[in-house]
Structure 1
Amino acid sequence: MAKQLARDARSPQPVQDCCVQADILWDLAAVYPPGNKWEERMPVADVFNGPVVDISAAIAAVQARR
């Protein structure tokens, strides 16, 4: 799954600030708008970053707007 996330990343997808180790994404959270479906490529995320412990405020902010 981590490799698929990396392959599908594209503008306007946020670019993660961390979490790549041996070409694999680790400890990364992706938060998507309601109703989005992952079909051929992943949808654009509202939050796409990590480590999770460092982005909990960003996740909470997105959830609060919903």
Structure 2
Amino acid sequence: MKLYALKCRGQYLKVSDREGYQWVDLDKASVFPPEKFPVIEEYLEEVKKRGLRDVRIVELIVTESAVE
């Protein structure tokens, strides 16, 4: 499974209606499936407008298997 996130200097973007944009560790990040890629592109443009230049979209590859 592929998911996408925004990354900047080792932290990931979390989008919250209540708290706005926050930079967090991966386990708290907002992640998006491929069909929502236009949404993450909009977030990328927004944070760049706020002055962050080294932000990039990263692809996360998730695999699932049972843990025994």
For normalisation by structure 1, the TM-score amounts to 0.37
| Higher-Rg member (1/2) | 2
Higher RCO (Cα < 8 Å, 6 or more apart): 2
